[in-house]
Amino acid sequence: MTSLERREFKRYGVHAQVECRWMDASGVLHAVHGLTRDISSKGMFILCDSQPPEKTDVQVEVIFQPVDENTRSIRLRAESLVLRIQSSGGAEADRGFAILNRSYRLHNGREIIED
């Protein structure tokens, strides 16, 4: 059984663009861009070369592209906590960090769902 199968919330192998922002202890705002490796209602793993420190509060915005010209893109905006960092030991393509969503909102130009 893989680690994804043991999780409390089902994760889906969705690859979408994501931007993550956080403030460091000095008050400097940081931002990184990456891709989601997997996502659930309670969290996600973000693939990127640089990561915020563990236990950091972050704001994320995930952009789900429309499936055709008749639909709009959907954005997920979340207030999250960095749970773990994966920066070495695995394949370079797996560098990134796992987050826990404390709250999130889905948008398609207007708010759809809030948790």
Which residue(s) pair with 22 in the sheet?
Answer: 30
| HEC letters along 16-67 | CEEEEEEECCCCCEEEEEEEEEEECCCEEEEECCCCCCCCCEEEEEEEECCC
Domains identified in the chain and CATH numbers:
11-114 (2.30.110.10)
Tell me the pTM: 0.82
Q: Would you say residue 96 has pLDDT above 70?
A: yes
Dump pLDDT digits (tens) for 37-90: 999 989 999 999 889 999 999 999 999 988 888 888 899 999 999 999 998 665
Distance in Å from the first CA to the final CA of the chain = 30
